[in-house]
Amino acid sequence: MLSGKTVLIGITGGIAAYKICELIRMFKRANANVRVICTPNAMNFVTKLTLQNLSQNEVGIEEFEIPDFKPEHISYADEADIMIIAPATTNTISKMANGICDNLLTSIFCAFSKPVIIAPAMNCNMWNNKIIQENLQKLLNHGYTILEPENGFLACGYQGQGRLCALEKIFDAAVQKLSQPQTLKGKKIIITAGGTIEDIDPVRYISNYSSGKMGIALSDTAYSLGADVHLITTVSAQKPYVVEKVKSALEMQKAIEKDFADADCVIMAAAVADYRVKQPSEQKIKKTSDEEITLTLVKNPDILKHLCEIKTHQTIVGFCAESENLIENAKEKILKKGCDYLIANDISRKDIGFSSDYNEVSILTPNGVVKKLERADKYTIARQIFEEIYG
């Protein structure tokens, strides 16, 4: 799968370093050439001999070791197609975020211009430290991929977020980055997913059957094509790109508009509730002797329409769920909303759409139907949508 590719794995000094032995094996099994570099502190947790045997290559630790006209941090950076730093400790993350090059690993990172995946692992209090979060945000803003640590029992005895994410997640993120043409590189894309949740009281809400699968498939696909993805979703997702969880239509609108000015494209795959409860009750609504109850609903903002009104350079894509007269209604809707593309799907069919892994859609522009995409899994549909928009 990865023959001809060189994966550079940087190990720093955390207990999760021992897990990287298996990650090296995974890349070797996929036929990658694996180079390993370690910070001096990593050697407290794994041995050079183990890493050398597993990677079948020399392991770099100190600078100025290799007698070559090219400094080794430049040779390593030139040779590799991707760099993975796992586990990434608080110390190394902070150095990377501030351009400090005081060992071989941080020097290579600074000289590396290809994709970098960073998988932090640390004590949960260190992870939640605001300075560390700021440093991580800085790395994210510069396009580095951060694979967040998972919740669980930590080696230090604490329970919380800090465990190195699953090795499969690191491997998959690397494979995605290495095997796709990067046609969306440099594009900032905001994608929404899921049905919004409008509170009635602290225990009840109004929502819809949207599973978020189409929005997530679009986000994964955009990410694998090199885009800088910001997924704004009502359903949880652990992804190697920015995921912002929201609940209501108003929260979704706020999250989109915060980053809208810098975005190149917004895809509104979310099923946004048209109405919300006028005055959600702060306390649980009690049953009374009345046979009827009335909830007053007020209109939510039409996020898509508003984005189209305020847009400057962004490509705006809407979705349209119809249970009858699909194309006729979609043609009307694209003109009413003012978006550049509208992806129309027929929600009356049980074999596609809501909750299904499959979809069948028509892509419309304001001039008419551009293309009908045959029934396929949502990832294939997502790829075809990006091909239509970006060629």
Point out the residues that are catalytic: 156
CA 60 to chain centre: 31
Which of 61, 249 has the CB closer to ligand CTP? 249
> Residue 345 in contact with residue 374, Cβ under 8 Å?
no
Looking at 58-66, 298-306, 367-375, 379-387, which segment touches ligand CTP (CB under 6 A)?
A: 298-306
Among 172, 302, 340, 388, binds ligand CTP (CB under 6 A): 302
Among 105, 206, 272, 316, binds ligand CTP (CB under 6 A): 272
Among 268, 308, 363, 382, binds ligand CTP (CB under 6 A): 268
Distance CA 69, CA 130 (A): 42
Which of 100, 237 has the CB closer to ligand CTP? 237
Which of 173, 326 has the CB closer to ligand CTP? 326
Looking at 6-14, 28-36, 172-180, 318-326, which segment touches ligand CTP (CB under 6 A)?
A: 318-326
Contact flag: residue 321 with ligand CTP (CB under 6 A): yes
Looking at 40-48, 74-82, 163-171, 269-277, which segment touches ligand CTP (CB under 6 A)?
A: 269-277
Looking at 90-98, 150-158, 295-303, 369-377, which segment touches ligand CTP (CB under 6 A)?
A: 295-303
HEC letters along the chain: CCCCCEEEEEECCCHHHHHHHHHHHHHHHCCCEEEEEECHHHHHCCCHHHHHHHHCCCEECCCCCCCCCCCHHHHHHHHCCEEEEEEECHHHHHHHHCCCCCCHHHHHHHHCCCCEEEEECCCHHHHHCHHHHHHHHHHHHCCCEECCCEEEECCCCCEEEEECCCHHHHHHHHHHHHHCCCCCCCCEEEEEECECCEEEECCEEECCCCCCHHHHHHHHHHHHCCCEEEEEECCCCCCCCEEEECCCHHHHHHHHHHHHHHCCEEEECCECCCEEECCCCCCCCCCCCCCCCCCCEEECCCHHHHHHHHCCCCEEEEEEEECCCHHHHHHHHHHHHCCCEEEEEECCCCCCCCCCCEEEEEEEECCEEEEEEEEEEHHHHHHHHHHHHHC
The interface with ligand CTP within residues 72-101 (CB under 6 A) comprises: none
Among 89, 161, 300, 359, binds ligand CTP (CB under 6 A): 300
Which of 14, 318 has the CB closer to ligand CTP? 318
Contact flag: residue 363 with ligand CTP (CB under 6 A): no
Please, what is the minimum distance in Å from the beta carbon of residue 305 to ligand CTP?
7
The token pair at 222 is 């955009």
> Residue 150 in contact with residue 161, Cβ under 8 Å?
yes
Which of 2, 232 has the CB closer to ligand CTP? 232
Among 146, 206, 304, 352, binds ligand CTP (CB under 6 A): 304
The interface with ligand CTP within residues 273-292 (CB under 6 A) comprises: 274
Which of 63, 302 has the CB closer to ligand CTP? 302
Among 32, 108, 164, 270, binds ligand CTP (CB under 6 A): 270
Contact flag: residue 14 with ligand CTP (CB under 6 A): no
Distance CA 230, CA 238 (A): 12
Please, what is the minimum distance in Å from the beta carbon of residue 319 to ligand CTP?
4
Which of 144, 319 has the CB closer to ligand CTP? 319
Query: Of the candidates 214, 220, 216, which has an alpha carbon nearest to the alpha carbon of residue 176?
Result: 220
Q: What is the size of the binding site for ligand CTP (CB under 6 A)?
A: 13
The interface with ligand CTP within residues 103-122 (CB under 6 A) comprises: none
The interface with ligand CTP within residues 192-251 (CB under 6 A) comprises: 249
Under the rule (CB under 6 A), what is the footprint of ligand CTP? 249, 268, 270, 272, 274, 300, 302-304, 318-321
